[in-house]
């Protein structure tokens, strides 16, 4: 290739006044290929570059609360802790008893005046469906019950009974259930945590 270039120059320079010398031809690298030229550098863009945005995550759906057949009212305005004490296992055909125990965690006494049927309960199956709603047509005495709980003390308010049957009196199948109760005397509401019960 170089010899052809020199021959072309020689022929051309023979007919024209040639001012190109052999020393003016750049030397090729050993591989015979032309040297690589550096890539041109582009100026930085002058337009505003938007800042990266955070990925948008779809809103998470919150589980809907299970509807309840229990009464709703204003909560007891004094510091307290309530539990539903009773068996965690119940044999079908027998009756279990759960007692609402109220602990006064405040500085003043808790005084309740209520009826004997003011503790209502419902039973949910493992799927969260109410299989025994709170009964509203129960016959109750007009007896007035007074419950006083001093600061730092625990007192029994009322008890409930469940025999493993639904509202129509039919035995429920063996399995896991949840007992949910609320004390409501039409003035205050006391709602203890739910209690898991295994029916055998």
Indicate whether this model's pTM tops 0.75.
Answer: no
Q: Which of 158, 154, 126 is nearest to 141 (CA)?
A: 158
- For residue 72, what are its two tokens? 């709703």
Q: Pairing state of beta strands 89-90 and 195-199?
A: parallel
**Domains of the chain in sequence order:** 80-199 (2.60.40.2360)
Query: Three-state DSSP class for 11?
Result: helix
Q: How far apart are CA 177 and CA 83, in angstroms?
A: 17
Task: Please give the Cα distance from 63 to 61 (Å, whole number).
Answer: 6
pLDDT digits (tens, 9 = 90+) for 31-41: 555 556 666 66
Please give the span between the terminal C-alpha atoms of the chain, in angstroms, as a whole number.
100
User: 110, 82 in Cβ contact below 8 A?
Assistant: no
- In the predicted model, residues of the chain with pLDDT beneath 70 are 1-66, 137-139, 141
Owner of token pair 């509807």? 67
Q: Give the integer Cα–Cα distance in Å for 100 and 192.
A: 8
Read off the pLDDT of residues 4-27 as tens digits, 9 standing for 90 and up. Answer: 555 554 555 554 444 555 565 555
* Helix or strand run (H / E) with residue 7: helix 2-15
């Amino acid at each position: 290739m170089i010899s052809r270039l020199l021959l072309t120059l020689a022929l051309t320079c023979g007919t024209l006044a040639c001012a190109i010398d052999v020393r003016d031809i750049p030397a090729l690298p050993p591989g015979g290929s032309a040297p690589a030229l550096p890539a041109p550098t582009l100026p930085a863009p002058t337009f505003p570059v938007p800042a990266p945005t955070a990925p948008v995550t779809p809103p998470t759906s919150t589980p809907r609360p299970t509807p309840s057949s229990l009464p709703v009212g204003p909560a007891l305005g004094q510091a307290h802790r309530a539990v539903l004490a009773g068996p965690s296992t119940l044999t079908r055909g027998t009756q279990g008893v759960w007692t609402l125990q109220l602990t006064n965690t405040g500085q003043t006494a808790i005084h309740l005046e209520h009826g004997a049927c003011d503790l209502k309960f419902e039973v949910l199956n493992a799927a969260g469906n109410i299989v025994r709603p709170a009964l509203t047509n129960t016959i109750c005495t007009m007896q007035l019950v007074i419950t006083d709980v001093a600061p730092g003390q625990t007192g029994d308010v009322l008890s409930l009974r469940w025999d493993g049957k639904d509202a129509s009196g039919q035995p429920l199948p063996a399995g896991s259930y949840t007992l949910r109760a609320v004390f409501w005397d039409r003035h205050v509401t006391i709602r203890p945590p739910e209690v898991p019960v295994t029916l055998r």
